[in-house]
Structure 1
Amino acid sequence: MMLGLPKSTEFNRRIPKAKFYENVNITTSLKRLFVNQIKNIYWRNKIASTTTNLIDGKYVTEIEVFEVNLNNSQVDIDLFKFIDSVISYHILYILEYNGKYQVWIGYKESTNIEKKISKVDRYYHTNWLEETELIVKLEGLNLDDVYENLVRQIAGDKLQSVNSTESLKQSVECEKQIEFLQKQINTIKNKIRKEKQLNKQIEMNTELKKLKSTLEKI
């Protein structure tokens, strides 16, 4: 029983890879990724109000669990982006390679609830794990809460919020801000190392202190 999910959610149906792209326009390079990187795809679980005692959320009505058997340990994120773009439901991926597993999930934001259009902003994943370590908890009363908690479980420390009232969206935005500031800090550090003029070094050091101070406040 994968991920320790309820038996009522089990689906266990193999999906031919071509099913994902046979009725949509797909680039040759993306099709090549499907062929070269993916061995098989199985639809393992369907987490929904019909398969659990959870109620539908405002944004999330189903979470599909796909097991993706890989041909090597590296996978191109464009594959997930494509699958998430053609399937309106939220998806949790279990990647398998040589008997080891990784769990991936995208932070999928709804851009149009009526038309069920959404986009994945970014992906989070676990380290490679043994099958016995593959456990996720369905926490929450509705599928919105369950999905948010799954993203936090899989993201781990990246989305640990200090404030318990902070929404998942706020946590993700905070993480983006931290990444942006860290990139700026690294860029300025490199410039300081290369700069020969003392007055410019002093200017850049002042800017560096400001950025570090902003980062510490987040």
Structure 2
Amino acid sequence: MVDLLYKWPVASKFGSRVPKEKFYEYGNVSTAVREKFVSEVQRITWAYKLAESTINLRGSTSVPEIQVFQIDTKTGEVADQVLSAIDKAIQYPIIFEITRATVGERQIRMVAAHKQLGSGAPKISAYYSTGWLPADAERQSLPTAISLPALYSAILEPLTPVMVRPGEEMSQVADRLATVRKLEREITALERKLRTEPQLNRKIELRRSLKTRQQELEQQR
């Protein structure tokens, strides 16, 4: 897990508070998720807008703009379901900064999922995060990029728990991450079965399957 915060360009500052209720109105937000908004979220701020008009990088249909949302928490954490509800309501890629109050200091972490825009609902990968950092920690300049899609990929890359391969698009990385998670679940299940299987011939089959899955996992990483 990386320790990283970005210094967002001053020209991109937006600073508009968004009522939580706005996200209830969009789509099918369940009662359980609404309750998480109420119990976990203190304030949502649309903090920065990275666009051609603000940072002079050209967008595309896949990444027309990049938004930065700051979420002040009540409990110190925000469920992925809350982030997903916000992501689904906003038709742009979003980088989240989550803040919490601890004894003696405020802390912050960056969270994001790879978001693929299309004609229907956006396709959202799993969420990945930096570690918690002091709110006044030094921030790094944004990665150098020639377009908003390239900037989006460069911002997400340090959060991604697999190595991004040369020439690989972030959508391909997201698909590979989904495969990694699936293989990790299968390996855990096989290991559990192996511990409790009494028959030797079945144990041999399980070990063979486990070795195959482990090799597949290494290839994906």
Taking structure 1 as the reference length, the TM-score comes to 0.87
Among 201, 212, 216, the residue aligned to 1:214: 216
Among 11, 18, 31, the residue aligned to 1:15: 18
Seen in structure 2, the aligned counterparts of structure 1 residues 23 and 174 have a Cα distance that, compared at 3 Å, is closer
Structure 2 partner of 1:103: 110
What is the one-letter code of the residue matched to 1:151?
L
Q: CA RMSD in A?
A: 2.1
Question: 1:159–1:172: 8 Å Cα contact kept in structure 2?
Answer: no
CA distance in 1, matches of 2:21, 2:210: 50
Seen in structure 2, the aligned counterparts of structure 1 residues 141 and 187 have a Cα distance that, compared at 3 Å, is same
CA distance in 2, matches of 1:57, 1:80: 23
Q: Does 1:81 align with 2:107?
A: no
Structure 2 partner of 1:154: 159
Structure 2 partner of 1:127: 131
CA distance in 2, matches of 1:74, 1:125: 12
Structure 2 partner of 1:169: 171
Taking structure 2 as the reference length, the TM-score comes to 0.86
Identity %: 27
Seen in structure 2, the aligned counterparts of structure 1 residues 94 and 202 have a Cα distance that, compared at 3 Å, is same
Among 45, 50, 55, the residue aligned to 1:47: 50
Higher relative contact order (CA 8 A, sep 6+): 2
Question: 1:84–1:119: 8 Å Cα contact kept in structure 2?
Answer: no
CA distance in 1, matches of 2:215, 2:18: 50
- For these two proteins, the number of residue pairs brought into alignment is 211
What is the one-letter code of the residue matched to 1:211?
R
Shift of 1:42: 1.3
How big is each residue's C-alpha offset from its partner over 1:55-113, in whole Å with a ceiling of 9 and x where there is no partner?
Answer: 1123111111111100012211111111111111111111000110011112111232x
Structure 2 partner of 1:183: 185
Unaligned runs of 5+ in 2: none
- 1:88 is paired with a residue whose SS is coil
Question: 1:8–1:51: 8 Å Cα contact kept in structure 2?
Answer: yes
- 1:159 is paired with a residue whose SS is coil
Seen in structure 2, the aligned counterparts of structure 1 residues 216 and 3 have a Cα distance that, compared at 3 Å, is closer
Seen in structure 2, the aligned counterparts of structure 1 residues 204 and 110 have a Cα distance that, compared at 3 Å, is same
Structure 1 partner of 2:149: 144
Among 46, 63, 66, the residue aligned to 1:63: 66
CA distance in 2, matches of 1:128, 1:17: 24
Unaligned runs of 5+ in 1: none
